[in-house]
Amino acid sequence: MKPTCITSWTISCGADAERSYRESIFSIGNGYMGTRGFRPDERGQHAAWRSTFLAGFYEYIRTGITDLVNQPDFSAMVLRLNGEDTGCMRVVDFAQSLDMRNGLLEWQFALESSDGLKTQIKMEKFISMASRHVAALRLSVIPDNWSGSLHLETGIDASVQNLPIADNQLQGNSEFVQMWDVPEIYPIDGGALLTAKTLPSRRSVSMAYALNADESIELIEEDFSVSSVLVTTLECGMCWQVEKVVAVASYRDGDSEAIARSELECIRYESFDQLLGRSEKAWSKLWETSDVVLEGNETWQGAARYNIFQLLQAVPKDDPHASIGARGLTHGRYKGCYFWDAEIFMLPMFTMTQPKMARDLLLYRYNTLPDALESAKSFSAKGARYSWMASDTGFEQCETWDTGCCEIHITADVAFAFGEYAASTGDDHFLSRYGAEVYIQTARYWVDRFNYSAKEDRYHILFVKGPDEYCGVTSNDFYTVSMAQQNLHLAIDAVSEMKQHWPDEWEDLSSRIAFNDDEIDVWQDIANKSVLLFDEERNLWIQDETFEYMEPLDIEKEKDGDKPLYFKIAYDRLQRYQVLKQPAVLMYMALRPDDFSKDEIEAAWDYYEPKTLHDSTLSFGIHALVASRLGKISDAIRYLEKSLFLDLFDVMENTAHEGVHMASLGATWQALIFGFGGLSHNGKHFSVVNRLPEQLYTMRYRFFFKGEQYEAEIRQGTDPVVRMIV
């Protein structure tokens, strides 16, 4: 458990919290850029740890494989007080805190020099939610018991590197990749502009900065960095301050240099407080619709907001060519790739509270449909095959054979997410413009991916890995088959809706994709005759063909707290025990609860939950959701707390070295709103029931349904009150 203090709107830590853990949980961003919470003047970690990322900015590290590029560091700072480097001074009374109302990150501490000089320091930093290209920093220094010189160097440092991490969670890496060529540097009023280009493909980033200071500034250019040097004399007890404004643009925006220059021009004379004020306004607009108010437990309240905060600052805004990676912009783990995490775990919060953002996330998938079509061909399949791991390219980024080739449910997950978005928003054009094409092309993939057995007149999915990645490579995985069936139904329904409501668009689409009416019969046949394993006697849906042949494992004996068991038992061996890494049958039941009787879900819970290791952070929130729907209150609370505090308390001991777990944040939101908050819908109507646990006396949240906004208020012992916001 980490020594983190959580209030309803703030998160803070002292020096007793490990540095890399703080750097992860204090990651800040605005969906366009994100940076880890490292102290600007602190050195000592390698250049791949001082990470700043831009959404969608990837580069090739070998043929066909990309990595999310670690961007130049715009907060780098060297500070000397009376000639001594602050990085070497003793730090006392250290506190790092984050204000979730405006995204302001703050470090406050005192420094003691070798000869007893004491100085109070405050560093503040935020990435603007009002203007995607903008970040700002402020340094305040008060000498407690001395007067003397201050020397500050700060600018842009492109001497950063990438440390691509293998997909295999056990494999560390020590091979740094130099992404940046020697940058170009131009002095500008009060600062400088640096443009760097990646070595392989010449993808550019430009960062322009200016200091708002009274002192004169000298510019130092080095091979990979530029900094402004400012020297002044401090007086004992007097506060000295300097502010730095930064504008960032990349090749993804167009002419990065021109954009960075003009963005800086716009903010050059604005103060830190003015810029922060504008960012706070933008944040409050986001909070107005996405906040979840939990009265009765302040720690839960703050943690719930933290989960939402991290999602809101990870989602690209008005950018339909990027999505949210497994660690957002907080770490380069998984090469920054996009998984089903985005569509199945994170998307519901956006669909229900920020539908435009949800739409853009889905458009990323629509825009990579050509790659998915191409990708299917490379697997000798028809239609569109979405990749288990994707980046700015939709081509497969997963380099582990069994996962990359066999965890194919992602294709149906994408289609499912399109369907859920369309059903709850009532966004009419979505189907005709994007949805129908995605449903049909993905359905065509399933036609090819099922194997028909003429002997049985049944369709099987062979060589498949389900969401429980400890299932090995198996057959007829329940989750994958069920999701593929959904995908086929979405395609069937789309064709009839298109014919009925969008005849002109249908004519265009059907001829563009050479649609043939006979395809519908094939889809229907597969949906009807694909194999799902059910044991009548136990009223139990079986995960896959091999699950029941596995050896049992004494989980209690083997598992050490919440740390994943793959650290102790080889992945290969785990795949032959009858244990689950994360929910699979229950995962599908979490998504489609109305397709099952309560008894079926109970039976699945009783069978699978005790066998689940929760070795993926995606597991806890989904168990909390299912348990709360089943009325298993103590299980629901136990799982919710794991998910709610997953990163804040580093439950799985991997937040420090892997960043913030985006899917878990989304699962937490689903557990809160669809579970305890009782919200559900069937595509036509929504309903809200009261499942409030005794830890809370009120819960309030807003959501959109069919274009209207509502607020639900749930109090102990009364029926929920839902009102429309006009």
Task: Return residues touching ligand BGC (CB under 6 A).
Answer: 326, 334, 339-341, 467, 469, 581-582, 616, 618, 663
The helix or strand, by DSSP H or E, that contains position 368, with its residue range, turns out to be none
- Report the residue number, 47 or 624, with the smaller CB distance to ligand BGC: 624
The CB-of-546 to ligand BGC minimum distance in angstroms stands at 18
The CB-of-153 to ligand BGC minimum distance in angstroms stands at 39
Long-range contacts of 515-518 (CB under 8 A, 24+ apart): 515/440
- Report the residue number, 27 or 582, with the smaller CB distance to ligand BGC: 582
Q: Are 676 and 684 in contact (CB under 8 A)?
A: no
> Can you read off the two tokens belonging to residue 362?
């889905």
- Report the residue number, 80 or 409, with the smaller CB distance to ligand BGC: 409
The CB-of-321 to ligand BGC minimum distance in angstroms stands at 21
The CB-of-553 to ligand BGC minimum distance in angstroms stands at 18
CA pair distance 82, 149, nearest whole angstrom = 5
> Can you read off the two tokens belonging to residue 28?
């800040």
Q: Are 568 and 553 in contact (CB under 8 A)?
A: no
- Report the residue number, 41 or 658, with the smaller CB distance to ligand BGC: 658
- Report the residue number, 143 or 332, with the smaller CB distance to ligand BGC: 332
The CB-of-659 to ligand BGC minimum distance in angstroms stands at 11
SS3 245: strand
Please report, for residues 242, 426, 502, 565, 724, the alpha-carbon distance to residue 678 in angstroms, rounded to integers and kept in the order given: 49, 21, 35, 33, 17
The four Cα atoms 109, 113, 119, 121 give a dihedral, to 10 degrees, of -40
- Report the residue number, 4 or 582, with the smaller CB distance to ligand BGC: 582
Residues 6+ apart with CB under 8 A from 123: 39, 40, 41, 106, 107, 137, 138, 139, 140
CA pair distance 632, 628, nearest whole angstrom = 6
Residues 6+ apart with CB under 8 A from 407: 388, 398, 464, 465, 466, 469
Q: Decide: residue 14, CB within 10 A, 0-12 exposed, 13-18 middle, 19+ buried.
A: middle
The CB-of-569 to ligand BGC minimum distance in angstroms stands at 15
Please report, for residues 465, 484, 540, the alpha-carbon distance to residue 478 in angstroms, rounded to integers and kept in the order given: 10, 10, 11
- Report the residue number, 47 or 587, with the smaller CB distance to ligand BGC: 587
The CB-of-577 to ligand BGC minimum distance in angstroms stands at 16
Closest by Cα among 126, 120, 109 to 75: 126
- Report the residue number, 227 or 616, with the smaller CB distance to ligand BGC: 616
Closest by Cα among 621, 631, 70 to 349: 621
DSSP string, 208-228: EEEEE-SS-EEEEE-SSEEEE
- Report the residue number, 124 or 341, with the smaller CB distance to ligand BGC: 341
The CB-of-662 to ligand BGC minimum distance in angstroms stands at 8
CA pair distance 283, 309, nearest whole angstrom = 9
- Report the residue number, 139 or 580, with the smaller CB distance to ligand BGC: 580
CA pair distance 352, 289, nearest whole angstrom = 9
CA pair distance 481, 459, nearest whole angstrom = 10
> Can you read off the two tokens belonging to residue 305?
């907001």
- Report the residue number, 132 or 559, with the smaller CB distance to ligand BGC: 559
DSSP string, 378-401: HTT-SS----SSBSSS-S----SH
- Report the residue number, 227 or 582, with the smaller CB distance to ligand BGC: 582
Closest by Cα among 195, 244, 216, 188 to 76: 244
The CB-of-663 to ligand BGC minimum distance in angstroms stands at 5
The CB-of-410 to ligand BGC minimum distance in angstroms stands at 9
The CB-of-467 to ligand BGC minimum distance in angstroms stands at 6
**Helix-then-strand count for the chain, H and E:** 23, 30
Residues 6+ apart with CB under 8 A from 703: 352, 353, 673, 679, 686, 709, 710, 712
- Report the residue number, 153 or 396, with the smaller CB distance to ligand BGC: 396
The CB-of-333 to ligand BGC minimum distance in angstroms stands at 9
- Report the residue number, 39 or 581, with the smaller CB distance to ligand BGC: 581
The CB-of-581 to ligand BGC minimum distance in angstroms stands at 6
- Report the residue number, 312 or 326, with the smaller CB distance to ligand BGC: 326
Q: Tokens 């006009």 belong to which residue?
A: 726
The CB-of-344 to ligand BGC minimum distance in angstroms stands at 9
DSSP string, 147-215: -EEEEEEEEEE----B----SSTT------B--BPPPEEEEETTEEEEEEEBTTT--EEEEEEEEE-SS
The CB-of-34 to ligand BGC minimum distance in angstroms stands at 17
